[in-house]
């Protein structure tokens, strides 16, 4: 027993005697840190260039108003986990950040607004063309080429990452590529590893230069990068540094893929709660028949939930096209449908605990399959 204890201590000392707070491979941890890094944005660049004594380790003040609030799907404001900072990947592709704020708004790796807000610049743009869709499993390899952003703007995650970091989502105008790249490299080279984000990964925090070199004996074991990701910032070219950032963020993306080459997991809920629910099936007539692109708001008690009917969720996966709403103790709900063609329909006082089928322009129609009869509609 004692001998065992002694061995553990000796190992700990060899590694600087501090532990790994996060259980993930080093490349995933570093990719995660880059994904959350808020200083790559143009807003932060402006902040440090506006005064001579500021450098990349100066705390931003005031933060970018674009990241001061998140929106839920009904457009209501939510506390933004990155308020007082500037734009980063995670502000649009939220992880579990809002699960504690509101269980109903706790979708992960996507935002809730109809379109994702972007930093204000002289071109007057204030949002992206879409909102950030869930991106779990987005990097799974496939037999057809990768085409990201739906319109095929990027052919690989590395390209997407570099294009995004130096692009409009981070506040950079198309003419500012060189400035954006120089700024990102400045942050990476001169970071002192002391901010809260750096400290999250253990042992009081390490500068990017030390983490990316990967040889400091004080690094916790979990933060020692495998050789293919290591780079010496004092000698590497700008291109090589940017490529390394792309590869590390890809390592992080790969870590949020589920059931890769494994049998699917089927979870069955055997809980019998006293709560109520409503399932909504849509049939388009003027809009496409599957009503892909429709948005449904369900109001019950004093609450509202919104869901969009999408054709897919991330890659090779989709959800049940019948939208499922949990109603808690409420036994009726009002349904508002925004059909893809622009028609808006309202149904009041729909009874809970049933599948309700709604046809565009007609209202409630009999449900085929599992649906029970509609108890009240009007």
Residues that bind ligand HEC (CB under 6 A): 87, 89, 91-93, 116, 118, 128-133, 135, 138, 148-150, 157, 160-161, 164-165, 169, 249
123 vs 270, beta carbon nearer ligand HEC: 123
Q: In the chain, where does DSSP find H-type helix?
A: 2-14, 26-36, 42-49, 89-92, 157-165, 177-190, 196-199, 208-213, 238-255
126 vs 376, beta carbon nearer ligand HEC: 126
Interatomic CA distance for residues 268 and 240, integer angstroms: 47
User: Looking at beta carbons, which residue is closest to ligand HEC?
Assistant: 89
Q: Report residue 9: phi and psi, to 5°.
A: -60, -45
Interatomic CA distance for residues 287 and 339, integer angstroms: 7
Interatomic CA distance for residues 257 and 316, integer angstroms: 11
129 vs 301, beta carbon nearer ligand HEC: 129
**CB 192 → ligand HEC: shortest distance, Å?**
22
**CB 164 → ligand HEC: shortest distance, Å?**
4
Query: Phi/psi class of residue 377: alpha, beta or left (left: φ > 0; alpha: ψ in -120 to 50)?
Result: beta
| Cα distances (angstroms) measured from residue 323 to each of 187, 276, 335 | 44, 14, 12
**CB 205 → ligand HEC: shortest distance, Å?**
21
40 vs 325, beta carbon nearer ligand HEC: 40
**CB 150 → ligand HEC: shortest distance, Å?**
6
Which residues, 6 or more positions from 136, have their beta carbon under 8 angstroms from its beta carbon? 108, 109, 256, 257, 258, 314
164 vs 354, beta carbon nearer ligand HEC: 164
15 vs 36, beta carbon nearer ligand HEC: 36
**CB 338 → ligand HEC: shortest distance, Å?**
19
**CB 119 → ligand HEC: shortest distance, Å?**
8
Q: In 56-156, where does DSSP find H-type helix?
A: 89-92
């Amino acid at each position: 027993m004692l001998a065992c204890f002694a061995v553990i201590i000796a190992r700990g000392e060899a590694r600087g005697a501090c532990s790994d707070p996060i259980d993930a491979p080093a490349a995933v941890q570093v990719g995660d840190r880059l994904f959350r890094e808020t200083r790559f944005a143009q807003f932060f660049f402006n902040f440090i260039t506006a005064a001579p004594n500021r450098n990349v380790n100066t705390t931003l003040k005031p933060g970018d108003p674009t990241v001061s609030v998140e929106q839920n799907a009904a457009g209501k404001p939510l506390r933004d986990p990155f308020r007082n900072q500037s734009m980063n990947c995670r502000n649009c592709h939220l992880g579990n950040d809002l699960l504690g704020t509101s269980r109903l708004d706790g979708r992960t790796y996507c935002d809730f607004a109809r379109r994702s807000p972007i930093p204000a610049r002289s071109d007057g743009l204030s949002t992206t063309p879409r909102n950030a869709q869930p991106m779990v499993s987005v990097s799974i390899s496939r037999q057809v080429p990768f085409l990201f952003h739906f319109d095929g703007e990027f052919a690989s995650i590395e390209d997407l990452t570099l294009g995004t970091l130096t692009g409009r989502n981070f506040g950079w105008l198309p003419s500012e590529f060189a400035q954006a790249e120089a700024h990102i490299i400045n942050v990476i080279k001169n970071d002192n590893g002391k901010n809260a984000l750096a400290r999250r990964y253990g042992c009081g925090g390490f500068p990017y230069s030390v983490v990316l070199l990967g040889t400091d004996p004080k690094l916790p074991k979990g933060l020692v990068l495998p050789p293919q990701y290591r780079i010496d910032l004092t000698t590497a070219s700008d291109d090589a540094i940017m490529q390394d950032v792309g590869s590390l963020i890809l390592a992080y993306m790969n870590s949020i893929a589920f059931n890769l080459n494994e049998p699917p997991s089927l979870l069955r809920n055997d809980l019998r709660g006293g709560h109520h629910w409503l399932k909504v099936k849509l049939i388009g007539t003027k809009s496409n028949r599957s009503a892909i692109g429709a948005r449904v708001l369900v109001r019950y008690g004093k609450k509202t939930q919104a869901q969009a009917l999408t054709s897919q969720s991330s890659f090779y996966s989709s959800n049940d096209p019948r939208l499922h709403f949990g109603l808690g103790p409420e036994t009726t709900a009002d349904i508002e449908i925004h059909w893809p063609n622009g028609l808006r329909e309202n149904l009041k006082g729909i009874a809970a605990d049933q599948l309700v089928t709604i046809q565009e322009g007609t209202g409630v129609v009999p449900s085929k399959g599992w649906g029970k009869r509609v108890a009240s509609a009007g």
